[in-house]
Amino acid sequence: MFLVFFVFTTIFFLSLIFNIYLFFVIFAQPDKNKLPTVYIYNMILSSSVDIVIMFLTFLMPMAMDDGPYYEFRRSIGQFLTINCTFFYEHPLYLTLLMIIQRIYAVFRPFNRHFTNEKLWLYCGIMAIFSWISLLIPYFSDCPVNIDQRRYTFAVDCAERHPITLFQNRYLIVLPFTTMLLNISLIFYLTLQKRLVLSSSVGNSTTSVTVNRPIFQRSKQRKSFEKMLLFQSVSTTAFLLLYEVSSFFIRNFSKEYSQLSEDLRMWIFYIRLTPTALFCFLIYYIGTPSIRRLLIERTKLLYKGSYEATTVIQM
């Protein structure tokens, strides 16, 4: 058990440090027009809060005896659970907003419906919706309470609240839908590009491309939208890892329960790891331009020539 505690505490701690560093790098970048900063800030906040709560609910209890642990769980377990759930679900809803913005940008490239101010408003509306769906079960007779001893989000009643049951069963539909929309959009853009290229073959002018709004955007805008698509795809993919594994464990519970306790413990904490590594996986692994920004900023910092006003091309 010490090995599990050490390994995953180290991962959680390094992930939190990375989130803090990512925030300051993005915040200090003078030219933010190419960056989907609203989404990045939301993701950093969600991931960081989840890391802290998961440490308190799933790692710290390893060092506690059953008596103190169950008292801790009884006193603040439900409060920590609802916050853990909210900050996990929030990026799920954001992926839907991302792909809606990306689709809208393709067909209405010069719209003003997704300015940063309006995006903060949309994010707030989605957060309110999410909180309402979580607070109803929270104030019912059957709230969800993380149980580290059983490696599960448990309820102290015979049947889960209908809203909780609905979310457990059908939340997986959201990332699947978002991924399907992302793939469809990629195919559409690829097809449009091929049609334009085939139409321009043999013509002495390339004006055929000018009549398509998709190709009229500035290089800066294209960079922003490409990054948004990368972010949406990678976020959805990593969230699907947890949701798909939950689906299989839920539907093959009998077979899963027959595994040894040590194996189930490792499986559980490995499933939590992508949530802790969320920002690292999305912005360093999954988004080349932000990875380049982080590397260049780190080089400047190492050389002692870091200046916030320095603009790094992405």
Is the pLDDT at 94 greater than 50? The verdict is: yes
Residue 64 has φ and ψ, to the nearest 5°, of: -115, 145
3-state secondary structure string across 88-100: HHHHHHHHHHHHH
CA separation for the pair 159, 157 (Å, rounded): 6
pLDDT-derived band of residue 62, with 50, 70 and 90 as boundaries?
very high
- Average pLDDT in the 51-57 region? 96
CA separation for the pair 246, 169 (Å, rounded): 10
The pair of three-digit structure tokens given for residue 154, joined into one six-digit string? 């448990």
pLDDT of residue 148: 93
Listed by start position, the domains of the chain span 2-303
Any idea what DSSP says for residue 56? I
- Average pLDDT in the 255-277 region? 91
134 with 85: CB under 8 angstroms? yes
Domain 2-303 is in which class? mainly alpha
Between 75 and 236, the higher pLDDT residue: 75
Average pLDDT over the chain, rounded to whole? 86
Between 107 and 9, the higher pLDDT residue: 9
82 with 135: CB under 8 angstroms? yes
Residues 6+ apart with CB under 8 A from 214: 106, 109, 189, 192
CA separation for the pair 284, 292 (Å, rounded): 8
Going by C-alpha positions, the residue among 224, 222, 238 that lies closest to residue 95 is: 238
Cβ count within 10 A of residue 206: 12
Tens-place pLDDT, residues 200-259 = 665 645 444 445 555 555 566 666 667 777 777 888 888 888 888 888 888 888 898 899
Is the pLDDT at 16 greater than 90? The verdict is: yes
Going by C-alpha positions, the residue among 51, 2, 44, 7 that lies closest to residue 24 is: 44
Provide the β-strand partners of residue 154.
145
CA separation for the pair 283, 93 (Å, rounded): 18
8 with 272: CB under 8 angstroms? yes
